[in-house]
């Protein structure tokens, strides 16, 4: 029987980082949870989350589901967390009011759309999953972004009002909303293409602007720019700039700065330029200023990994994982590194991946890494079983059934994957 390995060929193609891909990074995930969770809570929206993509123009939008999509360009330009909370509150206003559901009833679950988008792209050599930013993992979202429709003016005004209410309820000064409008206004003269997308999907009206610019009663409200969130904001900005901007431009922009975000941005830029000694000097200073910070370790491990220093990367990931043992994105980074090593470490990668399946199962790169590692360990049956799970999540039922049946030709009945395949087969095989 011919080996299945060829099936994985397109997963193995090295895929460049792409603007349309979602970015996962342990520290950034935590930052957006902290910004958004209280807003989702007061809005009465359960299971809401924020997904950041690598596009450099300014946009934030909602699709089906409870996800606010935010472009990296907007985060890099935002002066602080207060503006981001303002933008998030507005988008969550759209979600809470059901604006999206009404526009997009025809849309299928975007999570599957995004996975399908990643694979369509990968198959066409355009986009894909599996590449990495920070400790982050890229997934595709091309289909979602192209289905980005404009709201009506009435919906815009309602989202502003709701957003302002949510911000006040969580004790955040709602001035971030009007600051964002100022940002758009100041930008509109020179670099219009950066903001056109936002304006085309969130129409501006004089009413909207005057409502947002009216001063709220600030008593009892906190401007999160004056809290420790500001430091996290600058660290996240440094990572996005480091990975997404031209590295020489990054070095210029941080040229006269030596604080923690500057060291991070410069370390990433040097790494991309192949200047590993300069990178190491930055990482050393970073460690001296902020010793044993798990996110600094995570970043260093990622930089070593991308420059091919595998042993050093795995050792550093292990330190980060030890400091944050429950963090799924750091665990995925460590697994990715271990999977490149020898047999015993590949086995450790599998164990780690299985432990975090509930947290990572919405990432294509999770399933492809697991399938590839089983494949390299010579366990064809499990590699096929994992592929069946991925195909099922992508809505490709025929493929899922085919892989599940094929897997169970070689898996032993006592193998837990055998039972999982049995479930897939009995739910899909109806004649």
Residues that bind Zn ion (CB under 5 A): 151, 156, 159, 202
Closest residue to bound Zn ion by CB: 202
Give the contacts of 396 (CB within 8 A, at least 6 positions apart).
Answer: none
Least distance (Å) from Zn ion to the CB of residue 154?
11
- Which residue lies nearer to Zn ion by CB, 45 or 377? 45
For strand 49-53 and strand 67-71, is the pairing parallel, antiparallel, or unpaired? parallel
Q: Work out the angle at residue 198's Cα, subtended by the Cα atoms of residues 194 and 204, and round it to the nearest 5 degrees.
A: 120
Angle between helices 294-306 and 328-338 (to 10 degrees): 30
**For 11, what's the count of Cα atoms within 13 Å in the CB-facing half-sphere?**
19
Distance CA 126, CA 139 (A): 13
Least distance (Å) from Zn ion to the CB of residue 50?
15
Q: Whole-angstrom distance between the N-terminal and C-terminal Cα of the chain?
A: 26
Least distance (Å) from Zn ion to the CB of residue 208?
9
- Which residue lies nearer to Zn ion by CB, 156 or 389? 156
- Which residue lies nearer to Zn ion by CB, 96 or 159? 159
Distance CA 170, CA 41 (A): 9
Q: Within 10 A of 149 (CB to CB), how many other CB atoms are there? A: 12
The secondary structure element, H or E, covering residue 52 is strand 49-53
Least distance (Å) from Zn ion to the CB of residue 160?
8
Distance CA 403, CA 381 (A): 9
Least distance (Å) from Zn ion to the CB of residue 235?
28
Least distance (Å) from Zn ion to the CB of residue 156?
5
- List the one residue out of 185, 228, 189 whose CA is nearest residue 209: 185
Least distance (Å) from Zn ion to the CB of residue 68?
11
Least distance (Å) from Zn ion to the CB of residue 82?
18
- Which residue lies nearer to Zn ion by CB, 202 or 279? 202
- Which residue lies nearer to Zn ion by CB, 156 or 302? 156
Least distance (Å) from Zn ion to the CB of residue 179?
16
Least distance (Å) from Zn ion to the CB of residue 159?
5
Residue 274 structure tokens: 């192949």
- Which residue lies nearer to Zn ion by CB, 62 or 282? 62
Distance CA 267, CA 135 (A): 14
Distance CA 16, CA 276 (A): 21
- Which residue lies nearer to Zn ion by CB, 183 or 303? 183
Distance CA 266, CA 279 (A): 7
Question: How far is the CA of 61 from the CAs of 40, 92, 164, 185, 196, in angstroms?
Answer: 15, 10, 17, 19, 13
Give the contacts of 142 (CB within 8 A, at least 6 positions apart).
Answer: 20, 117, 118, 120, 121, 127
- Helix/strand/coil for 68: strand
């Amino acid at each position: 029987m011919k080996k299945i390995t060829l099936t994985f060929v397109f997963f193995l193609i090295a895929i460049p980082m792409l603007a349309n891909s979602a970015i996962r990074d342990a520290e950034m995930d935590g930052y957006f949870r902290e910004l958004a969770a209280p807003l989702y809570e007061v809005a009465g929206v359960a299971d809401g989350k924020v997904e950041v993509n690598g596009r450099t123009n300014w946009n934030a939008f909602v699709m089906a589901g409870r996800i606010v999509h935010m472009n990296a360009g907007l985060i890099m330009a935002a002066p602080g967390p207060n503006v981001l909370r303002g933008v998030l509150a507005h988008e969550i206003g759209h979600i809470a009011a059901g604006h999206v559901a009404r526009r997009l009833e025809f849309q299928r679950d975007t999570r599957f759309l995004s996975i399908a988008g990643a694979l369509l792209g990968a198959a066409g050599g355009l986009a894909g999953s599996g590449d990495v930013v920070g400790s982050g993992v890229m997934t595709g979202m091309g289909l979602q972004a192209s289905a980005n429709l404009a709201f009506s003016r009435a919906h815009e005004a309602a989202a502003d009002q709701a957003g302002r209410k949510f911000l006040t309820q969580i004790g955040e000064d709602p001035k971030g909303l009007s600051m964002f409008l100022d940002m758009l206004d100041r930008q509109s003269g020179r670099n219009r293409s950066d903001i056109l997308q936002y304006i085309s999907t969130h129409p501006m009206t004089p009413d909207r602007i005057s409502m947002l610019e009216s001063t709220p009663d600030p008593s009892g409200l906190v401007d999160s720019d004056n809290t420790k969130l500001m430091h996290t904001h600058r660290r996240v900005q440094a990572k996005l700039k480091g990975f997404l901007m031209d590295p020489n431009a990054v070095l210029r922009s941080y040229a006269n700065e030596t604080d923690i975000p500057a060291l991070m941005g410069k370390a990433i830029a040097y790494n991309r330029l192949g200047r590993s000694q300069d990178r190491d000097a930055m990482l050393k200073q970073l460690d001296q200023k902020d010793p044993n910070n798990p996110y600094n370790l995570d970043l260093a491990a990622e930089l070593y990994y991308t420059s091919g220093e595998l042993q050093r990367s795995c050792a550093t990931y292990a330190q980060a994982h030890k400091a944050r043992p429950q963090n799924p994105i750091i665990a995925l980074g460590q697994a990715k590194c271990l999977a490149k090593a020898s047999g015993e470490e590949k086995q450790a990668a599998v164990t780690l991946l299985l432990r975090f399946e509930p947290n990572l199962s919405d990432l294509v790169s999770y399933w492809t890494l697991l399938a590839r590692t089983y494949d390299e360990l010579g366990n064809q049956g499990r590699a096929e079983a994992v592929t069946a799970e991925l195909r099922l999540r992508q809505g490709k039922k025929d493929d899922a059934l085919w892989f599940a049946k094929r897997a169970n030709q070689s898996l032993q009945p006592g193998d837990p994957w055998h039972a999982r395949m049995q479930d897939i087969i009995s739910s899909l095989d109806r004649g």
